[in-house]
Copies of this chain bind each other. A is one copy, B any other.
Amino acid sequence: MKKFINDPFNLVDEMLDGFLAVHKKKIRKLEDVRSIARTDAPVAGKVGIVSGGGSGHKPAFIGFCGEGMLDAVAVGEIFTSPPPLACYEAVKAANGGKGVLILLGNYAGDVMNFQMSADLSAADGIEVEQVILTDDVASAPKGQENRRRGVSGAFLCWKVAGAKAAAGGSLAECKEVVERVNANTRTIGVALSPCTVPAKGSPTFVLADDEMEYGVGHHGEPGTERIKMMSLDDTVQKMMNEILVDLPFTKGDNVAVVINGLGSTPQIELYAAFRKVKSILDTEKINIENAYVGEFFTGLEMAGFSITLSKLDPEIKSLLDAPASTPCYTC
């Protein structure tokens, strides 16, 4: 394992120290727990938006804590759910008296620990709702969407939820719009090489020189197929074939596209992938309204990328375009 680290068990704290020092104008650490909040949280009279999960996915989750996106984030160890108390304090920090919406990936530990935080918060009299994000088509078949993992489509959900809350939306309205985004969002990922969790010290999977892991999760979860290397265009075509029929996306739809690097894929390849996505959507007469290319939800240094398509309506489009100011995303 070649990494720039000290003790692997201190890495998350050392990262967080650095992160807080760089972004001190926008975020602060909560006392006694490993959670953060925007400096001005709770914002009185605004629905609080909370997320969290394991570390190693940066810029997710903490990079999107700030005005117009997440109010507070609970920070776990690498690829490990944050403890219930960290989730609970994040909810309390985000509570401006109008309720708190928790957005989380569909991972057992996150679901359990955030449920406990919701129960504790409810006992405090805080109104809490949750939306479990499920955009990864590779993780369960159509018809079993609620078993799917939440992956890079989460970026769109955080953006929309934060904007809806900033615009004065009620807790029910914020929840409804995120459910609408999630229901209309589909993602699939592919990897060329694994990542290594520092505390474990060995790769999450092993691929031959001519193999790709198709349908990979962003912790390195096995995909649906181990396939031979293909050209970029053939890879994108295969991914798009799967995403397009799943919703389905059809002629005349307006969509947002996210091309998300999983860690070590150069931007030059991500933009080339976007070119092929656009070419396919042009042929299908599906209109790209918003496009995001870069790293949003990584898996440490995994080489790979995911494609997310999200069907837009005018409200969702305007919420995506609303201002945000966070450490890793400003618009």
Contact = CB atoms under 8 A, between A and B. Distances in A.
Contact of A330 (B2, B5, B18, B330): B330
A283 interface: no
State the oligomeric state as a number of copies: 2
Given A21-B291, A22-B293, A56 B3 contact: no
A266 B2 contact: no
A55 interface: yes
A284 B214 CA distance: 50
B301 A4 contact: no
Interface string A238-278: 00000000000000000000000001111111111111101
A69 to B, nearest CB: 14
A4 B58 contact: no
A273 to B, nearest CB: 6
A272 B11 contact: yes
B232 A278 contact: no
A52 B21 CA distance: 32
B2 A268 contact: no
A268 to B, nearest CB: 5
Contacts of A193: 2
A151 to B, nearest CB: 17
A230 to B, nearest CB: 9
A96 interface: no
7 contacts: A4-B232, A6-B233, A18-B274, A18-B293, A56-B268, A267-B298, A330-B331
Interface of A: 2-6, 11-12, 14-19, 21-22, 55-56, 58-59, 63, 78, 192-193, 209, 229, 231-233, 235, 263-276, 278, 288, 291-294, 298, 300-301, 303, 305, 328, 330-331
